[in-house]
Structure 1
Amino acid sequence: MFRLLTKMSQEYTLSAFLRRSNLAEEKLVVLRQHLQKIKDQAVSSAIKEKESRLRSENESLKQKVANLKTQLIAMETVNGIQQVKMPNKSAQPTVQREEKPPKAKPETVKAEAPKKETKKSKAKQDEKPKKAAPKTNEQKPVDVSRLDMRVAKIVTVKHHPDAESLYMEEIDVGEESLRSVVTGVVKHIPIDQMQDRMVVLMCNLKPAKMRGVLSQAMVMCADNVENIEIIDPPAGSVPGDKISFDGYPGEPDAMLNPKKKVWEKVQPDLKTNDECVACYKGVPFKVEGKGICKVQTLKNCRIK
C-alpha cells in the first residue's frame, strides 16, 4: 500500500511539473511576441520622429533661402541693378512663323555637268598608285626566315653558380653591348673550348631566366640525345654576320611571339645532313660570300 501511494505521489509530481513547464513555455511565447511588438513600435516611432525632424529642418532651410533671396534683391535694387522677372512656366511663348521666300530655281543645271566631270578627271589624274603595305607578322609565312640567326663570339664564359649543367656566357653579336646567354652544354663541351669560340646565335627569342640568370639568346647546337655539338660558322665570319637560307628571303621578326609558336613549328625541320651541314628542309645555313655552317661529327641530327 505504501509503495502504491509513493508511486501515485511521484506520478502526480511529474504531471504537475509538465503542466507548469508547458504553462511557462506558453508565457514565454506570449512574452516574445509582446517584446517584438514593443520593438517594432519603437522603431516605427523613431523613424517617424526622424522624418518629422528632417521635414522641419527642410522647411526652416527653405525659409532661410527665401529670406536671403529677398535681401539679395533689395541690395541689388539699391545698387542700381535692374531685376528681370522670370516668365511664368505656364505661359507659352507665341512663335511667329516667318514666311520664307520661294527658292529660286537654278537656271544653268545643264551647264554645270561638264564641270563635275572635269573635277573627276582631275582627281583621277592626281591619284598616285598606292604602295603595298608591309606584311605583318601574322601574314608572313611560318618558315626559317622568321628566325634571326647571326654569327657571334663568346667573349667570357663561366659556370652557373646554381646549376652544374649550365654555362653563363657574354656573347658579342655585333651590337653595342654584349648579350647574356645561358647554355646547357657543360657535360659535352669543356669550358676552355667555349672561350672565344665563334657560334651561331638565335637572337629573337623572348629573353627568359634560367635558374635566376637572364638568357637573351640561344647558341645553336646539333643534338642526338647522347652528344651535343655547337654549330660552327664558316671561316672568315665576324660577329653580326646574318645566317641566310636560299629560297627563304623574308625578314626575321624583331622578337618571336611565344603565343604564335613560330619556333616550335620551324624547329622540327632544322637538322644536319649526311655531311654534317646545318640545314632547314635540306637548305644549308649560309653566311653570304663566306660559306656554310657545320658541326664536327653529328649527322642527320636535330638542331636546337
Structure 2
Amino acid sequence: MCVCVCVCVCVCVSVLQASVRDQKKLLVENGKLKKDIEQLRVQLQDKQRRRTAKALFSTPPPNISPAPTTPVNQPPAGATAAIPTNPPPTASSSHDQRERHSRRRRGERKARPTPDSLSLGVEPRVDVSRLDLRVGRIISVRRHPLAETLSVQEVDVGENANRVVVSKMGAETDLEELQGALAVLLCNVKACKVRGVVSMARLLCCSTSDDVSEMLVPPTGSAPGDRVTFNNFPGDPDRELQSKQRIWELLQPDLQVDCRGVANYKGCRFEVKGKGLCRAPSLTNCIIR
C-alpha cells in the first residue's frame, strides 16, 4: 500500500515538473518570437524611410532626344561623324529642379493650370450677352439738385432694395409721367458718383441727332427683374462690367432702333421671353444710349 502511494506521488511530481519545463520553454519561445517581430518591424520602417528619401532627393534623368533614323546630310566617305552632345543644363533648368525638390520636401504640389491660363491668347467674347439688361419700374423721380439736365430715379429691378439711377433727360421731359413707368436698365455697370449722387445702373434711352430722346419701353406685361435677352447671343452676363475693357463703349454703336421702332443689336431684337419686344415709344432709326 505504501509503495503504491509513493509511486503515485512520484508520477505526479514528474508530470508537474514536465509541465513546468514546457511552460518555461513556451515562454522562451514567445520572447524570441516577439523579439524577431520587433526586429522585422524596425527593418521595414527603415526600408520605407530610405525609399521615401530616395524618391524625394533623386534627380530626374536628363532628356535625351532620340537620334533621327534617316540622316539628312550623309557625311562623305572617310569623314568621322560628329557625335551630338547634350548641352549643359542652363541656370533656369537647375533652378526649376531645385524648386521642385524644395516643394517635395515641404509636401507642396505644383498648382494646376486653370481654365483661364489654358485659354491664353483666346480673346473673350464681346457681344450683347455680356450686358445684364433687366426690366425696372420707376418708383420715384426728381431733378438732380446740382444739374438741370440730370434726373435721379429710384428704380425697382426685382431685388431686395431699389436702385438709385442718375440719367440725362431732356429739359422738355415731364418727370411726373415717368413715375410708375417701366424701363430697360443696364444693371451690371460699376456704381459711380454723378455730381455727388451714386448711380447704380444705367437707364437705356433712344435719341436722335436732334437730341430728342425717350426711354426704351419693355413689352406690356413685363415685371421688374425680367431679363432682356437675344436669341442669337446666348450666355450669362458679366457679374460687373470692367471699366478697363470698355464693353459698353464697344457695343453701343450696334445698339439701335430700327424703322419699326424695335430695339435691336446687329439685327437681333431686344426680347423679354414670352412677353414681347422692347420698343421706342415714337422714335425710329435712332441710336440707344
TM-score clears 0.5:
yes
More helix by share: 1
Question: Which of 209, 221, 242 lines up with 1:236 in the alignment?
Answer: 221
Q: Secondary structure at the match of 1:302?
A: strand
1:150-208 deviations in whole A, cap 9, x for unaligned? 00000011111111111111100000000010111041421111111100000011111
Q: How far apart in 2 are the matches of 1:264 and 1:250? A: 20
Normalised to the residue count of structure 1, the TM-score between the two structures is 0.54
Q: Which residue of 2 aligns with 1:301?
A: 286
How far residue 261 of structure 1 moved from its aligned partner, in angstroms, is 1.1
Q: 1:222 aligned to 2:199?
A: no
Q: How far apart in 2 are the matches of 1:266 and 1:202? A: 13
Q: Secondary structure at the match of 1:193?
A: helix
The structure with the largest alpha-carbon Rg is 1
Q: Which residue of 2 aligns with 1:177?
A: 161
Structure 2: which amino acid aligns with 1:267?
Q
Q: 1:248 aligned to 2:256?
A: no
Structure 2: which amino acid aligns with 1:230?
M
Q: How far apart in 1 are the matches of 2:123 and 2:238? A: 12
Structure 1: which amino acid aligns with 2:222?
S
Question: Which of 272, 275, 281 lines up with 1:290 in the alignment?
Answer: 275
Q: How far apart in 1 are the matches of 2:244 and 2:238? A: 14
Q: Which residue of 1 aligns with 2:140?
A: 156
Q: 1:207 aligned to 2:175?
A: no
Q: Which range is displaced more, 161-170 or 184-193?
A: 184-193
Would the aligned equivalents of 2:137 and 2:157 in 1 still touch at CA under 8 Å? yes
Structure 1: which amino acid aligns with 2:146?
D
Aligned positions of 1:86-101 closer than 5 A: none
Q: Which residue of 2 aligns with 1:260?
A: 245
Q: Which residue of 2 aligns with 1:89?
A: none
Q: How far apart in 1 are the matches of 2:275 and 2:197? A: 34
Normalised to the residue count of structure 2, the TM-score between the two structures is 0.57
Q: How far apart in 2 are the matches of 1:188 and 1:205? A: 27
Aligned positions of 1:117-196 closer than 5 A: 139-196=123-180
Q: How far apart in 1 are the matches of 2:228 and 2:125? A: 18
Would the aligned equivalents of 2:157 and 2:224 in 1 still touch at CA under 8 Å? yes
How far residue 225 of structure 1 moved from its aligned partner, in angstroms, is 3.1
Q: How far apart in 2 are the matches of 1:140 and 1:277? A: 28
Q: How far apart in 2 are the matches of 1:165 and 1:288? A: 34
- Paired residues, number: 172
Gaps of 5+ in 1: 1-131
Q: Which residue of 1 aligns with 2:256?
A: 271
Q: 1:281 aligned to 2:266?
A: yes
**Structure 1 vs Structure 2 CA RMSD:** 1.8
1:76-96 deviations in whole A, cap 9, x for unaligned? xxxxxxxxxxxxxxxxxxxxx
Q: Secondary structure at the match of 2:248?
A: helix
Would the aligned equivalents of 2:170 and 2:213 in 1 still touch at CA under 8 Å? no
1:254-274 deviations in whole A, cap 9, x for unaligned? 110010111111110000001
